[in-house]
Structure 1
Amino acid sequence: MLRIESLRRGRFGPFDLALAPGEACAVVGPSGAGKSVFLRMVADLDPSEGRVSLDGIDREAVPAPLWRRRVTYLAAEAGWWAESVAGHFSADAPSRLGPEREALRLPPEVFGWPVARLSTGERQRLALLRALSGGPRVLLLDEPTASLDPDSVRGAEAVIEARRAAGLIVVLVSHDPAQVARLASRRLAVADGQAIPSATIPSATIPSG
């Protein structure tokens, strides 16, 4: 279980949230409300106060690289540090991630492409695949489909939902109410850096495609 207790940074917070394996929570609110800051605090990318734990183990007891592998943050615009796509994946990734790559509408040869060749949408889909490749326990998604066409959105949502059904905890920032309804059963509403009373969102079936 992911537990977040009195998490804060400056004017942001406090935030409290508990999610069991397979649960998905959408963080909603206007631009500038503090949604991305919340995700970055959970991932230990920004300094914060309070307690974050996974399966009873406090974040502070885990080396930062290992924590971020277990609790993975996917930014709206992911960074790329190698010239080739392959440089961002392990050697076994092409075979291991084949079904998810197909669902994301990426060709098998994409791993051999230079990053400079990728379109914005291809980068966003590959960033999602890269985030999943490490086998995270928690996935923190910041507008993961903002640059995608409708078919690619359906593929990305199907991949996220399949991982969630297998036990992945998902925390999602999205400005698309329909996507929030499809992917999340809970909601953390944020305004002016503060959490406001949450509401349950009716679940919906993820469309295939």
Structure 2
Amino acid sequence: MTGLTDPASAAPAILPLGLEGLVFAAGGKTLIKGITATLSAGSRSIVLGPNGAGKTLLLRLCHGLILPTGGRIVWKGAAGADPALRQAMVFQRPVMLRRSVAANVDYALRLRDLARADRQQRIEDVLTATGLRRFATQPARLLSVGEQQKLALARAWALRPDVLFLDEPTASLDPAATRAVEEIILRIDAGGTKIIMSTHDLAQARRLANEVLFLHRGRLCEQTPAPVFFTAPRTAEAGYFLEGKLFPQLRRINP
């Protein structure tokens, strides 16, 4: 299955990804507040933070599903690289088309105008690698939730992206399914695809992170190598989160 170990193929790489003063506001509220960061190839970047910190929103901005209201998202890779064709995203709730498991993968590949023989080989490769080959002809919507998430990963993996965004991909899974999905994520990473994944699960972040981007209330508090983050966080917000404590609220003082 050599096709699974060459995500960039012959196309120019799109990384690194630069976030330059990124802002997103909606409904009169600023939800992403001036985030600046660079995400490079070669490491698994985990976007960590409590619920409501802006993790999902940040990934959707990076993937181009929504546009920022301020700042810029800049793909700084080789000239001629097309970011739209070199990235993929898997959501917390997998989107399954009303067709077979194999046809779900094939649909994504058809959108890239790949030849039939190439599509069939990629389908075979990713379904075998994710343990879904025996379900190839079954309706995707009849799979268990864990198997559907595996299929969502397989569909994205078949595209051989430079970057794979994962939004809380195991949030609704039991421990066994979570471990199976994490193993697939590690295989995708080992093949050279950059993983950018959000989670609020500290144990999972410890298992998967090479670096941590810690978000709190829409701000990037720190971007830190994982060993440093989990032993000596640089911000009070991260320290409270690691200790399982609520960050102190500012109290209004009435005159």
Read off the aligned partner of 2:91 and give its amino acid letter: A
Higher alpha-carbon deviation: 26-35 or 139-148: 139-148
Q: In 2 relative to 1, CA 159–120 (structure 1 residues): closer, same or farther, beyond 3 Å?
A: closer
CA distances 1:14-64 after superposition (whole Å, capped 9, x unpaired): 222212222111111111111000000000101213222334469xx98xx
Q: In 2 relative to 1, CA 148–104 (structure 1 residues): closer, same or farther, beyond 3 Å?
A: farther
Matches within 5 A, 1:24-43: 24-43=44-63
Aligned residue pairs: how many?
A: 197
Query: Helix, strand or coil: the match of 1:4?
Result: strand
CA distance in 2: counterparts of 1:129 and 1:77, whole angstroms: 15
C-alpha contact (below 8 Å) 1:23/1:168 kept by paired residues: no
Higher alpha-carbon deviation: 131-140 or 165-174: 165-174
Over the matched positions of the two proteins, sequence identity in percent amounts to 33
Per the TM alignment, residue 154 of structure 1 is displaced from its structure 2 partner at its CA by: 3.0
Superposition RMSD in Å: 2.6
Read off the aligned partner of 2:167 and give its amino acid letter: D
CA distance in 1: counterparts of 2:124 and 2:175, whole angstroms: 21
TM-score scaled by structure 2? 0.68
Is there any run of 5+ residues in structure 1 with no aligned partner, and where? 204-209
**Is structure 2 residue 19 aligned with structure 1 residue 4?**
yes
Matches within 5 A, 1:15-164: 15-48=35-68, 49-56=70-77, 67-90=83-106, 95-96=121-122, 98=124, 100-106=126-132, 108-164=133-189
Query: Helix, strand or coil: the match of 1:199?
Result: strand
Per the TM alignment, residue 113 of structure 1 is displaced from its structure 2 partner at its CA by: 0.9
The answer for the alignment partner of 1:206 in structure 2 is none
Q: In 2 relative to 1, CA 166–83 (structure 1 residues): closer, same or farther, beyond 3 Å?
A: closer
Read off the aligned partner of 1:50 and give its amino acid letter: G
Read off the aligned partner of 1:159 and give its amino acid letter: I
C-alpha contact (below 8 Å) 2:17/2:39 kept by paired residues: yes
Query: Helix, strand or coil: the match of 2:35?
Result: strand
Q: In 2 relative to 1, CA 57–3 (structure 1 residues): closer, same or farther, beyond 3 Å?
A: farther
C-alpha contact (below 8 Å) 2:75/2:83 kept by paired residues: no
CA distance in 1: counterparts of 2:174 and 2:130, whole angstroms: 11
CA distance in 2: counterparts of 1:98 and 1:151, whole angstroms: 24
TM-score scaled by structure 1? 0.81
Query: Helix, strand or coil: the match of 1:77?
Result: coil
Read off the aligned partner of 1:196 and give its amino acid letter: C
Read off the aligned partner of 1:77 and give its amino acid letter: R
Q: Which has the larger radius of gyration?
A: 2
C-alpha contact (below 8 Å) 2:47/2:214 kept by paired residues: yes
Query: Helix, strand or coil: the match of 1:172?
Result: strand
Q: In 2 relative to 1, CA 38–81 (structure 1 residues): closer, same or farther, beyond 3 Å?
A: same
CA distance in 2: counterparts of 1:22 and 1:115, whole angstroms: 32
